[in-house]
Amino acid sequence: MTKIQKSEQEWRAELTPEQYRILREKGTEAPFSGEYDFTFEPGTYRCAGCGAELFDSQTKYDSGCGWPAFSAPAAEEAIDAETDVSHGMVRTEVLCANCGGHLGHVFPDGPAPTGQRYCINSAALKLEEE
């Protein structure tokens, strides 16, 4: 159960169509198209849906995959993980623990020390620059 509960109508009114498609309908932005793919300014990445702190720029790296990649969340409790068997693959979906918004997926091919690659849609994030 997420802390923020809103109707799909409310979400639709608050989010851009692209944010809604990704956060509420588990969509994926086209690779290399997102606002933050090549952004490395210091700051805090917040959920575009609810503003919760999700990732720190210090964990962001260029994975070459076409989406923003992070090696760890800002805090373990900031995100939820769920098994996703759509599109003929078994993946781990990453969601905002605060509002339940879909963020992206996590893969076990990230850099040390975590070995994790959080592959996150730019449209699900809002960078608060330092």
**What residues line the site for Fe ion (CB under 5 A)?**
47, 49-50, 52, 96, 98-99, 101
Find, among 85, 87, 86, 126, the residue nearest to 103 by Cα. 126
Question: Nearest distance from residue 76's CB to Fe ion, in Å?
Answer: 16
Active site residue 47: no
Question: Nearest distance from residue 93's CB to Fe ion, in Å?
Answer: 14
Sign of CA dihedral 36, 107, 73, 1: positive
Q: Respond yes or no on whether the N-terminal peptide bond of residue 113 is cis (omega within 30° of 0).
A: yes
Catalytic, out of 47, 50, 99, 119: 119
In the complex with Fe ion, which residue's Cβ is closer, 62 or 128? 128
Find, among 129, 130, 120, the residue nearest to 37 by Cα. 120
Question: Nearest distance from residue 61's CB to Fe ion, in Å?
Answer: 23
In the complex with Fe ion, which residue's Cβ is closer, 72 or 78? 78
Amino acid letter, residue 29: E
**DSSP β-bridge partners for residue 92:** 83, 106
Q: Which residues are designated catalytic?
A: 119
